[in-house]
Structure 1
C-alpha cells in the first residue's frame, strides 16, 4: 500500500524539520549564546542579591581589558552617587573570598564613590566558564584593543582547549582574523604597549610583524608614532628593511665555508667579511693564536 500525497507531504515536512533541527544542533555555540545561557543580565528566580564587602572581592583574573575608560567610570560613579547600583554584579565564591564574573566597571565605580559594599549575586562557575564569560562580555559590549583581544583569545583557547578554528566559530569571526590577532602577541612588548594605548593600528602592527629583527620593529614603531605615518608608508618602509635584511644575510653567508675551514685550522672561532677577518679569543690566548697563524 503506497502512502497518499498528503502523507508524502507530511513525511517531507517532518524530514525538513528534522534536518533543520540537526543543522541548528551542529552550529557552534557563539559567545552571544553563552551570555544568554548564563543569564548574565538577569536575576534568576530564587536568587538572592546580597551586599558583599568590596574588601572580599577580587577582579576577574581572566579579564581581558587592561585599559578601562576612566571617563565612563566617572559617569557611572556619578550615577551611582545619585541613584545607587541598579544592576548587581555577578561573583564566584573562592577560598579567599569572591572573584568578579561580570560587572568590573560597576565594581570600580563603586570603589571610586567610596562605598564599602556592592549588591551582588553569587553563582558557582567552573574556571573555564569565568574566562569564557569575561571574553564574551568584553567582545560583545565594549571595544577591546587588539592586544587585549589577542590576550583574551589566548586565555580562552588554553582554558577550553580550543583550536583557532573552533575559537573563530565561537566568537563569530573568520579564522584568518583570529590567526592575525594572535600573531600580534609575537611583537615586542614595547610595541604591544603602544597598541594597548591605541598609538598603533592593526594595519601598522601587521606591517611591523613582517620584520624579524625585534630592535628594528621597535625603532620603526617609534617612528610611526613620532611622525604619524600611515599604514601604506609603514608597509613601504617594512619592505625596504626586509630587502636590507636579505642582502645582509647573503653577505653574512658569503664566506661561511671559509669561516668553517679557518676555525678548524686554527682552533678559534672566526668571522670573515668583505674587509676583515675577526678571530674570537681571550687576552691570555693571544700568543697561542699568533703561533697557530704562523704555522698555518
Structure 2
C-alpha cells in the first residue's frame, strides 16, 4: 500500500502539468466532462488534484484526471493541487486505485485495473484480494472477462452487455461463436436466463423429455447464475442450496472477518446499533 506523504496545496498553471503516463482509464464521458467544466467555470475546483514534481517539465498528474481535463475545457489558467513525492511504482498504484473507486467504472475497466495491479505489485489473485479487502472469487470473476473476444469486450465496455451476460458467454465452449451470440443477446434483449439456455444448447446439452427434469435443468443454472450475481453484490462467495422437490432452500454468504461481516451488513443496509 502507498505510504502517506507530506503534502502542500498550491495553485499550479495547467500548462505546466503533464498527464499521468500510467493512467489506466482510456475512455472519458465527454458530456460529463463538459458538465464538470461548466461547474468549474462557475464554482472552481473543490477537490485538489495530486501531482508530483516532474524531472522533465513542471509536474506530472497522479490523481484527478477528470478535474484536470475539465479544467482545461473550462480554460482555467491554474488548478489547485497537492504536491507529493512518489516513485514510479506508487504512481501506477495510485492511478489504478483512484479509478477503482469510481462508480461509473465499467466491468472491463475494473478487470483491466486488477490485472495491472497484479503485474505492478507482483501479486497473485489471493494476495490482490487481501490487498483490496475483497474475496478471491470476486477478483477472479472480473479477470475472466479479459478472456472475451474483442467485439464482445466492446459491447461490455459500452454497457450494451452486462457483466452477468458476459460471464455466461464465457462458458460457451465454441469460442468462435461468442461474438455472434453476444450480438444476438444485445439485439434481442436476452435475459441471463435465456442466454444460459442458449449456451447450454450450443454446448451440446440435450433437452430432457420429462417435464420435471426440464424444469430442474433450467433452474439449476439459474441458481448458479444467481450465486454469481449475489457474489458480485456482496463482494464475497455466495452459495445457493435448493431442494428440487420442495423448491425450498437457503442462501449462504461467506465472510472472512468481523470487518467483512459488518461490510456485508452495510450492503444490506442493516444497522445493529
Give the TM-score category using the shorter length.
0.5 to 0.7
* Separation in 2, partners of 1:92, 1:67: 23
Distance (Å, rounded) in 2 between the aligned partners of 1:54 and 1:38? 27
Q: Which of 40, 46, 63 is matched with 1:80 structurally?
A: 40
Q: Does 1:217 pair with 2:168?
A: no
**Where do 1:100-179 residues align within 5 Å?**
100-179=61-140
Tell me by how many angstroms 1:88 deviates: 2.3
- Superposition deviation, residue 116 in structure 1: 4.1
Q: Which runs of 4+ in 1 moved over 4 A?
A: none
Kindly name which structure, 1 or 2, has the bigger radius of gyration based on alpha carbons: 1
> Gaps (5+ residues) in structure 1?
1-28, 245-296
Q: Do the aligned partners of 1:101 and 1:134 also contact (CA within 8 Å) in 2?
A: yes
TM-score (norm 2): 0.68
SS class of match (2:67): helix
Judge conservation of contact 1:145–1:196 (CA < 8 Å) in 2: yes
Structure 1, residues 118-172: CA drift from partner, whole Å, max 9, x if none? Answer: 3323322122222222232222343311100011011111111011001111222
Q: What CA distance in whole angstroms lies between the structure 2 residues aligned with 1:224 and 1:194?
A: 10
Normalized per residue, the structure richer in helix is: 1
Please give the secondary structure, in 2, of the residue aligned with 1:49. strand
Match of 1:193 in 2: 154
* In structure 2, C-alpha distance between the alignment counterparts of 1:66 and 1:198, rounded to whole Å: 16
The residue that corresponds to 1:93 in the other structure is 53
Distance between the aligned counterparts of 2:93 and 2:128, measured in 1? 11
Q: Considering only aligned residues, what root-mean-square deviation do their CA atoms show, in Å?
A: 2.2
- Bigger mean CA deviation after superposition, 179-188 or 122-131: 122-131
Q: TM-score, normalised by structure 1?
A: 0.63
In structure 2, runs of 5+ residues without a counterpart are 206-273
Residues 40-59 of structure 1 aligned to structure 2 (within 5 Å): 44=7, 47-54=8-15, 56-58=17-19
